[in-house]
Amino acid sequence: MSNVRKAKMVLDKSYIIAQVDNRIYGSFIEHLGRAVYGGIYEPNHPEADKHGFRKDVMELVKGLQVPIIRYPGGNMVSGYNWEDGVGPKEDRPRRLELAWQTIETNQFGLNEFVEWSKKVNAEVMMAVNLGTRGMDAARNLIEYTNHPGGTYWSEQRKSHGYKNPHAIKTWCLGNEMDGPWQIGQKTPYEYGRIAKETGKVMKLVDPDIELVACGSSNTSMPSFPEYEATTLDIAYEEIDYISLHQYYGNNSNDTANYLAKSLDMDHFIHTVTSTCDYIKAKHRSKKTIHLSFDEWNVWYHSREQDKKINHWQIAPPQLEDVYNFEDALLVGSILITFLNHADRVKMACMAQLVNVIAPIMTENNGRAWKQTIYYPYMYTSKYGRGHSIKPILSSPRYDSKDFTDVPYIDSAAVFNEEKEELVIFIVNKNVHDSIYLSTDIRSFEGYAVVEHVVLEHENLKAVNTSTGEEVRPHKSGASILNDGLLETRLTKASWNMIRIQNVTA
């Protein structure tokens, strides 16, 4: 029988961090592996609609309530000609896709993605190629997508069957331009200049768009955070967000250290926020740059397998991580981190959505299913909408290989005033012991627990497959609310969501 440790927390409705921007629950589709072909698009599948979109996949995506999806890359975008993916399919060229060394058929492109996004109730976050191309291709692209008509590219869109503009309002200025793996890698100064000028010309076409500039590809880049500082210094007035990318893995099979990596993400956010605010002060600007964490996830399971893939195939199975239960715990903690930084993190994209390091997996011409990470993503997206409330938390702590004073508990809370609902998200990272949590919520008078969802499993390495879900949530969590004190038993190694509603209204 496991021991029971104790923790305390205070949640007060006046401790507001910020309104949660629903776009933190975004995702990402790149022309990589089977994300598009065999993932969201498979014309010969028995579940395909008239557009070739898999209806079983669309239902799983809609279950996540994804508000915005980044497209078409990713590393791929730095060598991509967007014109290849529009117009009659029989006229579209096959190209060498250099980033992932595959063959791109271009049978799925911009217009197909816009159509698919509408069907899953998501907006489009479009990326432009600043690797092999630049401001000229970017201005043509936004004219194609956003201008009403009467010009060359807007009339091209109409001739392709789209009378009304796509009205894409969120744009990424390239991808990971600091990376030596990136086609067209740029120094901070080079990137700052092209981001500024491309942003300028795009906003001349459509002044209502928002622009995301590339930050560092991860915290271990030697130029971090100087890349952010230089880019912002040059392009501050043209851009609206700076991007952050980070992936985590448990290569050393050290669960305690692995689950502590949400602290690394927290530090990353603090550092980039500080950099943005320094440049704001330097420019004496009244404008605040917010953060777009537009690539994040667990990624390590498939790396050795991917080294064996032969080049120049069409949609080979790349980056197909099979996620286990402990991966779901870390994903839950990452989402909690975003909520606790709701004042600055306004967008985030789990990379990616289907098959490629994804919550949803498919078989070609076969089934689709939910990976373990699907569940914390789904519940947080569905119920984590409202005002983020700052938790005042006192938790037992531990030390790991790379971290000290790691709280066993990660927690965030969201108050939806319209629904009169308080939702608390909690991860217990202790793999041996339960934790007894007492939470003071006296400011939420007249509220009662309506649901306590738990994701737990005895085997940290348990996975879901096409033949069955080994890891799935239950609604038998132990939470009791009396006189403003919420008493909760957090079972060892568990993700929890507690919904509390006003029952007196």
Catalytic residues: 176, 295
Torsion of CA 132, 90, 309, 53, to 10 degrees: 100
Q: At 254, phi and psi to the nearest 5?
A: -115, 90
d(CA 36, CA 315): 8
b/e code 242-266 from CB counts within 10 Å (16+ = b): bbbbbebebeeeebbbbbbbbbbbb
SS3 of 262, please? helix
* Residues 262, 330 contacting (CB under 8 angstroms): yes
* Residues 177, 127 contacting (CB under 8 angstroms): no
Position of tokens 């067209």? 184
Which is nearest to 345 in space by CA: 25, 11, 95, 72? 25
Both tokens of 191, joined, read: 């990137």
- Phi-psi category of residue 136: left, alpha or beta, with phi > 0 → left and psi -120 to 50 → alpha: alpha
Q: Cis before residue 225, ω within 30 degrees of 0?
A: yes
d(CA 185, CA 161): 36
User: Residue 177: exposed, middle, or buried by beta-carbon count in 10 A (0-12, 13-18, 19+)?
Assistant: buried
Torsion of CA 41, 43, 46, 50, to 10 degrees: 100
d(CA 205, CA 146): 8
Both tokens of 223, joined, read: 């130029």
* Residues 51, 45 contacting (CB under 8 angstroms): no
Strands 406-407 and 123-128: unpaired
- Phi-psi category of residue 151: left, alpha or beta, with phi > 0 → left and psi -120 to 50 → alpha: beta
* Residues 262, 250 contacting (CB under 8 angstroms): no
DSSP collapsed to 3 states, 430-450: CCCCEEEEEEECCCCCCEEEE
CA 92 to chain CA mean position, Å:
30
* Residues 143, 151 contacting (CB under 8 angstroms): yes
d(CA 175, CA 294): 10
